Amino acid sequence: MTVDPSVRQAMLDAIPRLRAFAISLSGNITYADDLVQGALLRGLENLDKFQPGTSMQAWLFTILRNQFYTDMRRHRREVEDADGAMAERLAVMPEQSARLDFSDMLAALAQLSIEQREALVLVAAEDMSYEEAAQICGTNLGTIKSRINRARTRLAELLDLVSDEDIGPDRLVRATLLMHASMSRPLRQRFCKLVQTVVC
């Protein structure tokens, strides 16, 4: 199969965001990588169904999302690690307060319904428009806006956020972070954007 170079590049460019979306849905990096690989393979297999002029990223997000839900339905009755022994071995205490904040955010995100979580992540973390998120989720614009509003409200409750000052580190840690602003900047920007949308 010969793939047009521009289509190939569009698929490659989508991989980081696909991976971030898959991780936010599944909470498991290994499974997320499998979802991304599966979405790319299905995309290549069904490339004739892709409509030129539309967003390759949105198309791949839809494929990934559909596969995630198919897997969820298939594995709904499976129980892994029923006694919690594996979970106890994997628990690691965070070393910094920023990591604690990030862990709190991930835990709060995990408590949202999948529909609310995916809508919030697509718009706030992946910087997609409401229209693109509605297309990926297969729903209308009003439903996406409602899901995001409910998700933000619920996250603020779960994280006990009242104002912008409740987000992130204290003043001393902020001053230290300014000295190291160039380190891991894309991840920090995405996290801060996601957190700020909760309070606004």
pLDDT of residue 145: 93
pLDDT at residue number 155: 87
Q: Are 141 and 130 in contact (CB under 8 A)?
A: yes
Q: What is the pTM of this model?
A: 0.50
Separation CA 16–CA 23 (nearest Å): 11
pLDDT per residue over 25-59, tens digit each?
Answer: 888 899 999 999 999 999 989 888 888 888 889 99
What is the distance between the alpha carbons of residues 32 and 53, in angstroms, rounded to a whole number?
Answer: 27
As a whole number, the mean pLDDT across the chain is 78
44 touches 3 (CB < 8 A): yes
Task: Give the residue-averaged pLDDT of 65-94.
Answer: 69
State residue 91's pLDDT score: 43
Residue 158 CB-half CA count within 13 A: 19
Radius of gyration of the chain from its Cα atoms, rounded to whole angstroms: 18
Best-predicted range by mean pLDDT among 12-16, 84-88, 100-104? 12-16
The model's confidence at residue 61, banded by pLDDT at 50, 70 and 90, is very high
